[in-house]
Amino acid sequence: METKTSVDISVPVLFVAHPNLSDSVNHNIIQSEIEGGVHLRDLPPGSVLSIQTKNRFYKMVVVGEGTVLISGHPEFCPAPSEVRINGSTWGGSMLKEKYVGRGMHLEFVHAVHRTILTSRIVDIRADS
């Protein structure tokens, strides 16, 4: 007699359009899941991300609790600077907190330059 084994197939939980949000907001949230990104809470300290935006290449090293060392902008962070990541936005006031997402703009707070919004993120890669 043949024994059957079960296989655990995990299906990711995806966002379901919310009736109290506008179509454009629901679309943006769903699009961010399609394009992908990373929640900082899922990265251990010391994790390194290479982030390509439309205009720049950034290197980000996770310190912890939404704090990172970031470099790549000639004026705001030419050398690694400690900043707090607010999250990513589509250019308006809605923010996905502590999230770095393709197709979105990264928003971070610098001690000297205050809130900085990058150009649209084109690619994100985890480095070792």
pLDDT over threshold 90, residue 20: no
Distances (CA, A) of 57 to 19, 32, 113: 37, 20, 19
Residue 63 lies in a domain: yes
What digits encode the pLDDT tens for the residues 102-119?
A: 999 999 999 999 999 999
Residue 114 lies in a domain: yes
Instruction: Please give the residue that has the higher pLDDT: either 57 or 35.
Output: 57
Residue 1 lies in a domain: no
Query: What confidence tier does 2 reach under pLDDT thresholds 50, 70, 90?
Result: low
DSSP 31: H
Residue 66 lies in a domain: yes
pLDDT over threshold 80, residue 124: yes
The count of domains in the chain is 1
Domain that holds residue 47: 37-127
pLDDT over threshold 80, residue 11: no
Residue 21 lies in a domain: no
Residue 14 lies in a domain: no
> Across residues 86-92, what is the average pLDDT?
89
Distances (CA, A) of 40 to 26, 52, 101: 22, 17, 11
Q: What's the CA gap between 77 and 62, in Å, rounded?
A: 15
pLDDT over threshold 70, residue 7: no
Maximum distance among all Cα pairs of the chain, rounded to whole angstroms: 72
Q: What's the pTM?
A: 0.79
Instruction: Please give the residue that has the higher pLDDT: either 69 or 2.
Output: 69
Residue 88 lies in a domain: yes
- In the prediction, which pLDDT does 6 show? 47
Residue 58 lies in a domain: yes
> What's phi and psi for 3, nearest 5 deg?
-95, 130
Report the range of poorest mean pLDDT among 5-19, 26-40, 83-97, 99-113: 5-19
